[in-house]
């Protein structure tokens, strides 16, 4: 009869499933919890010389934090101190350690990994995770902080395209100046820097001015900065100034959505001013221009036949001065300009835009055209490369989910750790 050459693990050790340990005792407590006592099966090698020990010097019981296994568990490790029998070794004795519980650790590695996956991968709040695993909030946050320190160094990456955009870190706050007693409005912003090829968040800096972005870029190696070819930003003069200073050879692209939004805002301003000029009040539901305000902002090529008919009715019934239709034509021409595929077509579309702006002769359209002229070099880069801040906005949306789950953050270090770990986890997946 054939028999196995190795002894099979007992059922309790298989169910508990803690690598390099076996269950020696299990006691059910009156409150429903269980005391599980384990001892190691890992070879007791000396940490100094590596010689495997065979003589036990002493034993002591150490309590470990571990994941709940079919309910609440109190894990006790029957830990042994071994003699080192190598006479040349200066370490005469040592305590055993395993990959699951390294030296000076009080938590199992599988607990730390499960906590990290719950917070980063599943998106659960730190307080909720702490309650679920029966540990403290501070331990969960320490696990997250330790994982953030092990993230790959940004300087070792070689991004080709960057995206920069800001998001609000906290709500608006007011602080009183001790000297003047005046109340100062403070808006806590942070700026996200993303690799547009992979969508990974590379850095988060305080504020939304050129100083924060400039300091972050200055901290990168010269080869890293020379490797960046294109940077996509929203129409922010502060970001552009920082890029001109620290990435002078890099092409800067302005985001398509933000430029289109400027045209939509211009059209909305004209519509609101027309209502005040003609009726002396704000728009109401009975006004055709107000009732079809979203139709005015819709792209012309996406309008149905019924939509075109309604739009023509708005211009005929609620645009006595013709300014609303002129502003709409400027908006659509700017969209046509942004959708061109070559610099020659873009230059021709810009000339047509200038003619429409001149015929409109309104401060709103003139202001929009001046903005287009100031950002024309960046618009040309957008037309050639197609680089936008879409992946930055996607990360900002995920950041908002993180803030909502945590009900906000007071510590910016914890806030940045969560964002960077979440982004790195998605890249690894």
The answer to whether residue 296 is domain-embedded is yes
CATH number at residue 420: 3.30.420.10
306 and 319 part of one domain: yes
* Average pLDDT of the residues of the chain: 90
pLDDT tens by residue, 131-151: 999 899 999 999 999 999 888
pLDDT tens by residue, 366-383: 999 999 999 999 999 999
At 428, the pLDDT band (50, 70, 90 cuts) reads low
174 and 200 part of one domain: yes
pLDDT tens by residue, 89-118: 888 888 998 999 998 889 999 999 999 999
Do 164 and 390 touch, CB atoms closer than 8 A? no
245 and 310 part of one domain: no
In terms of Cβ atoms closer than 10 Å to its own Cβ (0-12, 13-18, 19+), residue 43 is exposed
Domain of 93, in residue numbers? 11-101
Is 70 exceeded by the pLDDT of residue 337? yes
Q: What average pLDDT score do residues 191-203 get?
A: 94
The answer to whether residue 111 is domain-embedded is no
229 and 271 part of one domain: no
Is 80 exceeded by the pLDDT of residue 413? yes
262 and 381 part of one domain: yes
Coil, helix or strand for 167? strand
64 and 177 part of one domain: no
User: What is the distance between the alpha carbons of residues 229 and 249, in angstroms, rounded to a whole number?
Assistant: 8
Cβ neighbours around 353 below 10 Å, total: 21
261 and 251 part of one domain: no
412 and 377 part of one domain: no
pLDDT tens by residue, 277-330: 999 999 899 999 999 999 999 999 999 999 999 999 999 999 999 999 999 999
> How many structural domains does the chain have?
3
Cβ neighbours around 42 below 10 Å, total: 15
314 and 261 part of one domain: yes
The answer to whether residue 245 is domain-embedded is yes
Is 50 exceeded by the pLDDT of residue 426? yes
């Amino acid at each position: 009869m054939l028999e196995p050459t190795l002894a099979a693990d007992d059922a309790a050790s298989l169910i508990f499933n803690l690598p390099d340990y076996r269950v020696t005792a299990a006691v059910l407590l009156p409150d429903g919890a269980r005391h599980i006592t384990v001892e190691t099966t890992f070879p007791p090698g000396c940490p100094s010389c590596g010689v495997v020990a065979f003589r036990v010097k002493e034993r002591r019981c150490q309590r470990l934090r571990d994941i709940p296994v079919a309910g609440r568990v109190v894990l006790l490790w029957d830990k042994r101190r071994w003699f080192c029998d190598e006479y040349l070794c200066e370490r005469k004795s040592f305590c055993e350690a395993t990959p699951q519980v390294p030296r000076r650790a009080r938590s199992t590695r599988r607990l730390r990994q499960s906590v990290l996956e719950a917070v980063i991968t599943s998106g659960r709040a730190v307080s909720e995770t702490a309650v679920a695993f029966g540990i403290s909030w501070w331990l969960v946050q320490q696990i997250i902080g330790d994982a953030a320190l092990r993230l790959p160094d940004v300087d070792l990456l070689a991004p080709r395209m960057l995206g920069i955009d800001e998001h609000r870190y906290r709500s608006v706050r007011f602080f009183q100046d001790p000297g003047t007693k005046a109340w100062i409005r403070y808006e806590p912003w942070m700026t996200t820097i993303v690799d547009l090829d992979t969508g990974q968040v590379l850095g988060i800096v305080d504020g939304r001015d050129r100083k924060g972005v400039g300091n972050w870029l200055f901290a990168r190696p010269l080869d890293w900065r020379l490797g960046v070819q294109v940077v996509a930003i929203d129409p922010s003069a502060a970001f552009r100034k920082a890029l001109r200073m620290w990435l002078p050879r890099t092409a800067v692209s302005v985001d398509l959505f933000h430029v289109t939004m400027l045209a939509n805002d211009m059209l909305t301003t004209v519509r609101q001013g027309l209502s005040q000029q003609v009726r002396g009040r704000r728009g109401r539901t009975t006004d055709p221009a107000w009732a079809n305000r979203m139709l005015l902002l819709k792209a012309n090529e996406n309008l149905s036949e019924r939509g075109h008919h309604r739009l023509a009715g708005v211009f005929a019934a609620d645009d006595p001065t013709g300014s609303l239709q002129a502003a709409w034509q400027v908006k659509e021409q700017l969209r046509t300009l942004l959708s061109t595929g070559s610099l020659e077509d873009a230059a021709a579309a810009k000339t047509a835009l200038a003619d429409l702006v001149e015929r409109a002769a309104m401060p709103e359209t003139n202001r929009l055209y001046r903005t287009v002229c100031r950002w024309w070099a960046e618009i040309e880069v957008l037309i050639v490369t197609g680089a936008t801040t879409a992946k930055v906005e996607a990360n900002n949306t995920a950041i908002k989910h993180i803030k909502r789950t945590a009900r906000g953050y007071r510590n910016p270090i914890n806030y940045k750790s969560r964002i960077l770990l979440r982004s790195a986890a998605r890249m690894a997946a």
